[in-house]
């Protein structure tokens, strides 16, 4: 019984922006649990590479060149997945960007760029995929927020990121409330310090690195595969009575 709780055999998943980093790790985790995984990414080459990794695990995969801020492209992506597999059970809204500048130095275009990818795309993808989930009265949506959505990080000026990730948490709650009657559970994961393309330059500074690790009870950064358990849990039957929640995976950073 316990094994079946986390078994994703027969399920299909869409993981946005999964051509690298945490999205790649979560896609491989879902495939390892039995799901077929579609990879919509603006970088088609990276998406194809991850799709090949998934196929090597014995699961089906689709790489779909997609700008997730464009409703028309998201619609085409969803149609393709439905044509190939007939249903979409899991959506992980992972695509994200960051621009680090003080507020007075930010341009409106820079603010809008972060908003479009980090928040607008979550709305666009969730709304489109939810429409495929509703007829089956089943679905799991996992939004990737951030510890920056619940706190301000000292010496890191990145107001659009703070605001959009906080909004992702609230959107998660709003969607969970509206879609519960349709059998769709909507939850968020807030990763702490994982080294990714977005933040790897921060770890080149030994002083700043020490400050961040000193504030982390576990005293280290996370490894991408350490998100596997959380995303599988939220995508599987194990979390069928969980919705509207935000789960930090941060080595204890938000404890202090």
Q: Is the pTM of this model over 0.85?
A: yes
DSSP one-letter code for 77: H
Q: Is 161 a catalytic residue?
A: yes
Which one, of 34, 149, 31, lies nearest residue 96 by Cα? 149
Check 115, 161, 162, 253 and give the catalytic one.
Answer: 161
Task: Give the contacts of 130 (CB within 8 A, at least 6 positions apart).
Answer: 139, 141, 175, 179, 182, 184
Hey, is 69 helix, strand or coil? coil
Q: Going residue by residue through the chain (256 aa), what tens digit of pLDDT does each one get?
A: 567 999 999 999 999 999 999 999 999 999 999 999 999 999 999 999 999 999 999 999 999 999 999 999 999 999 999 999 999 999 999 999 999 999 999 999 999 999 999 999 999 999 999 999 999 999 999 999 999 999 999 889 999 999 999 999 999 999 999 999 999 999 999 999 999 887 888 899 999 999 999 999 999 999 999 999 999 999 999 999 999 999 999 999 999 9
Hey, is 228 helix, strand or coil? helix
DSSP one-letter code for 168: H
> Which pLDDT tens digit goes with each residue over 1-49?
567 999 999 999 999 999 999 999 999 999 999 999 999 999 999 999 9
Which one, of 88, 86, 94, lies nearest residue 38 by Cα? 88
d(C-alpha 81, C-alpha 117), whole Å? 21
Q: Kindly report the CA angle at 221 between 203 and 23, in degrees rounded to 5? A: 95
Pairing of strands 139-144, 184-191: parallel
């Amino acid at each position: 019984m316990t094994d079946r709780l986390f078994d994703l055999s027969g399920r299909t998943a869409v993981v946005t922006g999964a051509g690298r980093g945490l999205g790649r790790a979560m896609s491989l985790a879902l495939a390892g649990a039995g799901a077929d995984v579609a990879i919509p990414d603006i970088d088609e080459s990276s998406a194809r590479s991850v799709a090949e990794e998934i196929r090597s695990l014995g699961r089906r995969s689709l790489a779909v060149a997609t700008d997730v801020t464009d409703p028309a492209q998201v619609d085409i992506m969803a149609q393709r997945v439905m044509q190939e597999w007939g249903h979409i059970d899991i959506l992980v809204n992972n695509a994200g960007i960051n621009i680090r500048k003080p507020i007075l130095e930010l341009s409106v275009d820079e603010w809008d760029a972060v908003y479009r990818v980090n928040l607008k795309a979550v709305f666009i993808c969730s709304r489109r995929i939810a429409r495929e989930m509703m007829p089956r009265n089943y679905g799991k949506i996992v939004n990737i927020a951030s510890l920056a959505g619940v706190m301000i990080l000292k010496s890191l000026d990145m107001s659009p990121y703070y605001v959009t990730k906080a909004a992702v948490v609230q959107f998660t709650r709003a969607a969970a409330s509206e879609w519960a009657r349709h059998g769709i559970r909507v939850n968020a994961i807030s990763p702490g310090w994982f080294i990714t393309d977005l933040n790897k330059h921060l770890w080149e500074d030994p002083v700043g690195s020490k400050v961040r690790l000193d504030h982390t009870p576990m005293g280290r950064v996370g490894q991408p595969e350490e998100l596997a358990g959380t995303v599988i849990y939220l995508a599987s039957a194990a979390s069928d009575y969980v919705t509207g929640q935000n789960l930090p995976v941060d080595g204890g950073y938000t404890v202090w």
